[in-house]
Structure 1
Amino acid sequence: MPRWKALPEELDPQVREFAGQLRRLVDRSGLGLAALADRTGYSKTSWERYLNGRLLAPKGAIVALAEATGTPQHHLTTMWELAERAWSRSEMRHDMTMEAIRISQARAALGEAGVAAAPLAAGRAAGGTGVSTAAAPGGQGRDADRPPSVPVRHGSAPRIPQQPLPGAVRDSGGGGRPGGGPGKQGGGRRKVTLFLTGTVGALMLLAGAVLLTDLGGGEDGTGAAAATPSARPATSGPELPAGVECTGADCTGQDPEAMGCGGQFAGTVARVTVGGGLVEVRYSETCGAAWARITQASPGDVVRIAAGPAEQEGTVDADADAYTPMVAVERASDAEACATLASGATGCTTPE
């Protein structure tokens, strides 16, 4: 069975090359991971992560490895600096990808709202063009044969019984009805037409006011409930990358490595040196969670992560490092890591 696992395919080429060089150094030294941990002061678990590409080794670990294997320190730290910049670029690309996912989801949600509002927009457009023109004097208007109409919203305004215009509009010359004089009948019918047109216009204004003020779906004067289309917000969350097992509140209290939130999906957002130990806030935007990590520590040292009322802690045992379970955070700056060393020294991080 091969000694080393295959490096993750998504690793940056420079990080992959650096991890391969570390593996060759360890192979040439003949040291096992337990012996390497004893000589460098970094735990066996940490070296497994470093050598399998799940975590970039800190500079202190690289210096300790150079001393343990007899490798020129400046050559190894130069390669580490290149890998560290590549690792930071990868984290930046990941942040940009997550930003693009959020923008895409927002656009999709707004698109769904636009589709749901389309029937309402169509109704408004129809309401603005649904009035027929009045007949011209002399009875030759193109809509003179049709009664005026208005698209009344169901349950919002009463319908007006249609008043068919007398056929005498066409017979305004006086020959359509016995006993009617041409001037008297024509003038009276024009007055009726103008009256109906004004009434229809007033009702259209009333219907428009109801549409604009009653979109919340209340009840009108007739007691009928007004139905308006509503846009439903998107409820499905983003699809998590392969290997990531939780996000947000589901990550609280979980191990970040077991849930796949570490490695390429995490970055250090704050750090402080307490005694001889390095305390860091590790944040994963993919998981929406943060945790604390302490390295170069001593057995009995305690590290804590806090975000509001939520708090988790970890204790250094035989290894020289430890990390806490996760707490859910909305922003990286919401989390604070603190350490209490066995020597009595304490300290907390501040956002970078």
Structure 2
Amino acid sequence: MPGWKALPDELDPDVGAFTERLRRLIDRSGLAVTAVAERTGHERSAWDAYLNGRLPVPRSAVVALAEVAGSDPAALATDWELAERAWSRGRGGDAERDVARDGARDAEPGRGRDAEPDAGDRTMQIRRLDRPEPAGTSAGASPAPRPRTADSHAPAPTPAPTPASSSGSRRQSVLLSVAGVLGALLVVTAALLLVDLGGSDGGGGDGGDGGDGRAVAPPTTSAPPATPRADLPAGVMCAGSDCTGRDPEEMGCGGPLATTVARTRVGAAQVEVRYSDTCAAAWARITGAAPGDAVTVEVAGAVRRAAVTPGSGAEPDTDAYTPMVAVGSGADARACATLANGGGGCTTD
């Protein structure tokens, strides 16, 4: 029978009540937490977090525990929903307070800012350029445009050039005109090149800015997204290479989505290769082990490792599991154990 730790004082009452109910259910079943983890398909470390109020309990874990303990899952549904809402409130409250605080801070400097007009003010200034401003415009307002009169648009009179400087002025005008035409051609050519580069080979990957401020349409044959989360079941956070190095429980790849594809005995411990077809990833798990025992998973030279820790509760830890490694088939993964007493073995030995 596990000796339960006291739940944190700051824990939401609904979460605390549901956690205590799960503890009582385990106590009545007579099972240790390690046995619950093995029979429900959820890792021991995950159950430690659930039963101490550190992580919300997924619905799949609640259903599996009810089946193992011989209880009706529907009897837990109401308490689970209350606890889930409490977790949601806890995750969103801090973000809402940060947004409110940032909004109040931004509003205060906004009331005293009049020297730098925003984008809307600049747009209105451009639209008012053709209309004269009334007299007495304040210093903070936009500059008064010149009225559209013949005098204001007429060029200032210039003295007639002397015969000695006429040819030089004409040459200078011609050179400036040529330079202006060449500059315009260069700008147009550069813009066309940038548009072509941005749209012909999918450069940039997200159909963003084409280099001259204009949106470039994405190519018809774009690369697939790196993380196809939209195609995954609810609660699954990764697939394939995105899962490598990640915790299978936190990514939603464990529990009913995982199966044991290979196992072996190394001393008193059992070593397994766990595989999730949904996540296209494998990991290794060791159970019935002793502190200091380690387990690894290997796929095509990629290795991930975990060790059994002494634990801090009344019942010492006896299991551990590694992070995931992407693999197309669980048969391509191998799990190995290295015991603290010097023994060792692998699932393919």
TM range (shorter): 0.3 to 0.5
* TM-score (ref. length: structure 2): 0.40
